[in-house]
Amino acid sequence: MTEATITRRDALALGLGGSALALGGGAPRRARAQAPEEVKVALLAPMSGPWARQGQLMKLGADLAIEDINSSGGIRALGGARMRLVVYDAGDSTEKAKNAAQRMVAQEPDLVGGTGAWLSSFTLAVTEVTERAELPWLTLSYADSLTSRGFRYIFQCSPTGDDQAIKTLPIVLDLAQRATSKKPTRLGLLADNTASPQSFVKPIRATEAEKHGLRIVVDETYTPPLSDATPLIQRVRAARPDFLLFIATNIPDDKLVMEKLNEYGLGQARLPTIGNGGHMATPELVQVTGPDILEGLMVTMANWAGKGQEELVRRFSERTKEPWMGQDSIMPYADMMILREAMERAGSTDRRKVADAIRGFDLRNEGPAVYFPSRHLKFDTRGRLEDATLVTVQWRQGVPQPVDPPALATAMAFWPRPG
């Protein structure tokens, strides 16, 4: 029975008779709402095309979280309701991602919330749909524009692209100076033209490079996926930057660029290279390029499983056979925990109440907050994560090791020295 007023006709149909209606001074009685047996949450991410591997890693993290939630009693405030994940493929284009979102909200009217769509360009389109449906939507996508539209049902669980760009340069320059006693002055930029990379490089071009005494000596933008990285790397080599920021969105492009850097004598740490995003620290990248080519490559990103999360990593690796738990898996894991916590606090599957519960979070070192680098979970009025902390990993002998922030680090960072 749903929570609705029982009319005289309802009472007679249920065999309650007039005496039941007389209880409570004749006031109508309300039936208690029954807790659902399961609650649906969604993952919408690329499961096909050049970004498919990232979608698969996201699903692995979300699946483990769902398993952990259900094995620990489900949603207790809802009578132990189990969580069930429904998955939609964002495909390989913004149009396909938006169409998937439209199918999702039409086919799953009882969805409570969701996470995705990985690529910021896709997430911009998907959240146009989820916002109209008042569906709480969590995302690891970086673009600042995601939370600059006045939307109320999007929650950005990563540092924004601007924020990451602003924080990256001081980290890189500090590493360089400590290792070589010399401050770099010449910067190279290589980025694809999708939303997140462009959000990242925009403040560097506008203010950050000059603020830190850097001159941009090469600045190249390309459309993914690449078919040949030769012209790009030729221009990088000719410009002779002190270090290169390489901001891409998929493993095939990572492979082409890193191999071409190596071919032109700039790889294997000869030209210090800094990337951005979880795709640059996946097992596939070392499998298709080799550990020598990746040695010393640094990657900044929103999250990584590190110090203090060894048990979670162990269980993830046992379950999935993945060698480590990177950003693309730990973020969806955390998102599922956020949705569970919100339903526990709301005591409801009502989307508005769940979104209100997320807006009310101010958690430190507890609940889903423990899965974030800052160990603090609070969103501002735009839906941006407060105290969002940038994580840096560095490839060392075929394994990406977290090197910053110190609370998460499992290895010391080093600045690659030219050979």
Which pLDDT band, with edges at 50, 70 and 90, does 418 fall under? low
Q: Provide the sign of the torsion angle of the four alpha carbons 113, 114, 120, 124, taken in this order.
A: negative
Which pLDDT band, with edges at 50, 70 and 90, does 16 fall under? very low
The answer to whether the peptide bond before residue 36 is cis (omega within 30 degrees of 0) is no
What is the C-alpha separation between 249 and 376, in angstroms, rounded? 27
pLDDT digits (tens, 9 = 90+) for 173-197: 988 888 788 899 999 999 999 888 8
What is the C-alpha separation between 410 and 178, in angstroms, rounded? 19
In three-state secondary structure terms, 318 is helix
Q: Which fold has domain 162-301+391-404?
A: Rossmann fold (3.40.50)
Rg of the chain on CA atoms, in Å: 24
All residues at 6 or more sequence positions from 414 whose CB lies less than 8 Å from its CB, including other chains = 175, 179, 296, 394
Whether 38-159+307-377 shares its CATH topology with 162-301+391-404 is answered yes
pLDDT at residue 105 tops 80: yes
pLDDT at residue 24 tops 70: no
Residue ranges of domains in the chain: 38-159+307-377, 162-301+391-404
pLDDT at residue 269 tops 90: no
Mean pLDDT of 157-176: 90
pLDDT at residue 275 tops 90: yes
Spelled out in words, what is the top-level CATH class assigned to the domain 38-159+307-377?
alpha beta
Provide the pLDDT for residue 414. Answer: 84
All residues at 6 or more sequence positions from 195 whose CB lies less than 8 Å from its CB, including other chains = 119, 120, 121, 124, 143, 145
Helix (H) or strand (E) holding 275: strand 273-276
Provide the pLDDT for residue 66. Answer: 98
With a pLDDT cut of 90, the percent of the chain lying above it is: 79
Mean pLDDT of 85-103: 97
pLDDT at residue 29 tops 60: no
pLDDT digits (tens, 9 = 90+) for 120-146: 999 999 999 999 999 999 999 998 999
pTM: 0.83
